[in-house]
């Protein structure tokens, strides 16, 4: 997936609630490693955990996939 698609999906999720992105802010426990993909992993998982019972909560325009192991 292109960085642009991941960034747009990350921005969308953060726009839904600041709580989804609070842990990736500078000084917070999930800031490092400071990469787009690592931050997206945290935010997408947080969003999904809060919305998993809603249809489409794991789509992110193809920028996310289900996994049973921590990437």
Dump pLDDT digits (tens) for 15-44: 988 889 999 999 999 999 999 999 999 998
Calculate the average pLDDT of the chain: 86
pLDDT of residue 61: 65
Q: What value does the mean pLDDT take over residues 57-66? A: 68
pTM: 0.81
Give residue 51's pLDDT.
86
Closest CA to 57 of 47, 43, 67: 47
Which helix or strand (DSSP H or E) is residue 48 part of?
A: helix 36-51
């Amino acid at each position: 997936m292109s960085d642009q698609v991941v960034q747009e999906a990350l921005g969308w999720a953060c726009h839904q609630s600041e709580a989804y992105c609070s842990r990736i802010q500078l000084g917070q426990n999930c800031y490092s490693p400071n990469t787009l993909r690592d931050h997206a992993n945290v935010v997408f998982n947080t969003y999904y955990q809060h919305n998993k019972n809603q249809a489409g909560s794991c789509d992110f325009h193809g920028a996310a996939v289900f996994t049973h192991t921590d990437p």
